[in-house]
């Protein structure tokens, strides 16, 4: 069988970089395979897949050594347009692909460019919209769709070109839980129905992919560390975790039990894990441990003083969209709060009202007693910092230094900070966020998305707000970086800062948030300690949020003595012991 992709001793270095991004890559992908490429940020994943359709070396300036062949065509000597006829690619941010103002026109653009006859284009568009369940959205503007619908539009636009190879770069990274589920259903359908011959996915979120992929590749520092069929790839969870992979909860748990000779095989799905552990309990090889399984980090000092008070808050956008419907919240100084719910539930709108970016349609928002409707913006900025979900919506200066200085210089003009403090604050925020000094004079948009997110957080952190609101703090971060980001937010919390995060990552909520507020359709459905909220699976369904996989596992084993509100793998392991 001839491979559809064949790479031999591939080296790649960008023009602006001294280091090789890819180092001696040897790789063969065969027809019909479903391959997942994972690994830490800056490991070369996106660069590697850019060589599949000729973006490297033709659209990126740099130095390439070795060879890449796709369907027998040498990428180095082939035209990008010719390669795009065979290799369809969707990017992490679907909006970067959109050119037209209607979904059906966007989906038609690719096959039209490839010179397909008009009748065939119409058939392909209808088919692609049907496959991605977008037929009813065909007349809408892509930028007005939800995150999941945008990603499905990007998939439809690629499918309509009838590629032999489909490459997806982190297709679920910017999506809410329902959006992630939509995309995974489409990918699963693409495989089961053989809509595309070969599928390659770059992804950090592996829980669903572990059920359906044939093969996983771990890339780190530009080299392939591991390339194995799915079951063998996950056979040593500790190795994967040490190398920056966040394995599914059930895989980590079964790996722990296997290492202690309690369980024979690694489990990759929730159903497999339930069956295996039920058997161990019935055979009395495991028993529940009645110890306190609390695993949170140290609590910050929470005062009775209200940092933010929201009363009967309503908000309607100028186009008539009702975003909030009578919200009441009191967030005390020193709390660490997570806002969860699907896109459109009102989370981001609520957070922007808390920061004074929006003003209430009716009701009130008070920040340390100051009514946001009448308080001057600089006074609010000095108290509440806001970091946007997409750092590119926040960053606009031409050097990182200017970006970090911008907010402080605004405060200086209102005499809310002293000039001699500016440099010290910049250095402090860089240290906390891990922004290296040597890139200060670089353009922010030359940095990875993960680094741009850190720059955005650092620019807000430098203003030392008492309340820090971060929308999707782990966007663009791999697992180790996500943990670093959350740990420094935890440190800020312990120093007395009130932290509010908006996130779709339930493992982040479970590991760091002390209080969780679940929203749906502009209202609050659940508000309380994180353990109570995330263990309420039935109500969470209404917010289109699933509890962490380990919580679902513990609830499935409730009859064997496990608590229903376990949130982390460590808690789970503390709740069981060998008989």
Q: What values do phi and psi take at 22, rounded to 5?
A: -120, 140
Instruction: Compute mean pLDDT per 10 residues along the chain, 579 residues long, and list them.
Output: 94 90 97 96 92 92 95 92 89 84 94 92 93 90 83 91 92 76 86 90 93 96 97 96 95 95 94 96 90 53 90 94 95 96 89 95 96 90 87 89 92 85 92 88 85 88 91 83 86 90 93 95 96 92 89 95 92 91
Cβ neighbours of residue 547 under 8 Å, at least 6 residues apart? 506, 534, 535, 537, 540, 555
Alpha-carbon 459 to chain mean position: 21
Cβ neighbours of residue 545 under 8 Å, at least 6 residues apart? 177, 340, 341, 342, 504, 506, 518
CA pair distance 302, 279, nearest whole angstrom = 44
Under DSSP, the state recorded for 162 is -
- Which structural domains are found in the chain, ordered by start? 1-86+165-247 (3.40.50.300), 93-162 (no CATH), 256-284+552-578 (no CATH), 306-545 (3.40.50.300)
Q: Which of 492, 290, 468, 494 is nearest to 383 (CA)?
A: 468
Q: What is the pLDDT of residue 189?
A: 87
CA pair distance 16, 526, nearest whole angstrom = 49
Q: Which of 220, 246, 169 is nearest to 479 (CA)?
A: 246
Contact in structure between 391 and 424 (CB atoms under 8 Å): no
Cβ neighbours of residue 352 under 8 Å, at least 6 residues apart? 358, 386
Terminal CA-CA length for the chain? 50
Dihedral sign for Cα atoms in the order 220, 226, 230, 232: negative
Contact in structure between 280 and 265 (CB atoms under 8 Å): no
Q: What is the pLDDT of residue 298?
A: 53
Cβ neighbours of residue 148 under 8 Å, at least 6 residues apart? 175, 176, 178, 179, 180, 182, 183, 343
Extended beta strands in 317-415, E state: 322-332, 336-340, 362-367, 370-371, 384-387
pTM for the full predicted model = 0.86
């Amino acid at each position: 069988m001839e491979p559809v992709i064949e790479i031999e001793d591939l080296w790649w270095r960008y023009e602006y970089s001294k280091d090789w991004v890819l180092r001696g890559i040897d790789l063969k992908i065969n027809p019909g395979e479903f391959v997942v490429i994972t690994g830490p940020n800056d490991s070369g994943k996106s660069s590697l897949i850019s060589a599949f359709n000729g973006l490297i070396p033709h659209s990126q300036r740099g130095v390439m050594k070795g060879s890449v062949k796709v369907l027998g065509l040498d990428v180095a000597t082939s035209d990008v347009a010719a390669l795009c006829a065979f290799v369809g690619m969707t990017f992490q941010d679907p909006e970067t692909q959109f050119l037209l103002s209607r979904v059906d026109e966007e989906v038609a653009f690719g096959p039209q460019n490839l010179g397909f006859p008009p009748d065939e284009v119409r058939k392909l568009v209808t088919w692609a919209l049907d496959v991605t369940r977008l037929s009813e959205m065909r007349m809408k503007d892509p930028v007005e769709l939800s995150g999941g619908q945008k990603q499905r539009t990007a998939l439809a636009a690629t499918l309509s070109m009838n590629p032999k190879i489909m490459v997806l770069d982190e297709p679920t990274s910017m999506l809410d839980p329902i959006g992630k589920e939509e995309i995974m259903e489409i990918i699963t359908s693409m495989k089961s129905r053989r809509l595309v011959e070969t599928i390659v996915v770059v992804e950090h979120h592996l829980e669903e992919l572990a059920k359906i992929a044939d093969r996983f590749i771990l890339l780190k520092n530009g080299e392939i560390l591991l390339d194995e069929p799915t079951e063998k790839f996950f056979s040593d969870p500790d190795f994967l975790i040490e190398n920056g992979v966040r394995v599914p909860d059930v895989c980590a748990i079964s790996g722990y039990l296997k290492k202690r000779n309690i369980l024979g095989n690694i489990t990759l799905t929730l159903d497999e894990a339930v069956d295996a552990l039920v058997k161990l309990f019935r055979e009395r090889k495991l028993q529940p441990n009645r110890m306190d399984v609390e695993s949170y980090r140290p609590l910050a000092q929470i005062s009775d003083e209200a940092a933010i008070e929201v009363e009967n808050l309503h908000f309607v956008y100028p186009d008539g969209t009702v975003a909030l419907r009578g919200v009441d919240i009191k967030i005390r100084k020193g709390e660490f709060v997570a806002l969860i719910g699907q896109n459109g539930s009102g989370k981001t709108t609520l957070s922007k009202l808390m920061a004074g970016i929006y003003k209430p349609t009716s009701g009130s928002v008070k920040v340390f007693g100051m009514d946001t409707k009448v308080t001057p913006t600089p006074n609010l900025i000095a108290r509440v910092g806001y970091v946007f979900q997409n750092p590119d919506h926040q960053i606009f200066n031409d050097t990182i230094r200017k970006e970090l200085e911008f907010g402080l210089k605004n405060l200086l003009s209102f005499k809310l900070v002293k000039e001699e403090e500016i440099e010290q604050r910049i250095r402090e925020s860089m240290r906390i966020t891990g922004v290296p000094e040597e890139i200060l004079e670089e353009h922010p948009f030359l940095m990875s998305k993960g680094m741009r997110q850190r720059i955005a957080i650092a620019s807000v952190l430098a203003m030392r707000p008492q309340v820090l609101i971060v929308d999707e703090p782990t966007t663009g971060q791999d697992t180790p970086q996500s943990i670093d980001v959350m740990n420094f937010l935890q440190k800020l919390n312990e120093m007395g800062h009130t932290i509010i995060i908006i996130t779709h990552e339930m493992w982040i909520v479970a590991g760091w948030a002390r209080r969780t507020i679940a929203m749906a359709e502009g209202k609050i459905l659940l508000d309380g300690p994180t353990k109570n909220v995330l263990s309420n699976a039935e109500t969470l369904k209404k917010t289109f949020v699933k509890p962490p996989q380990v919580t679902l596992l513990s609830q499935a084993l409730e009859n064997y003595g496990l608590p229903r509100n376990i949130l982390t793998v460590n808690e789970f392991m503390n709740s069981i012991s060998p008989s």
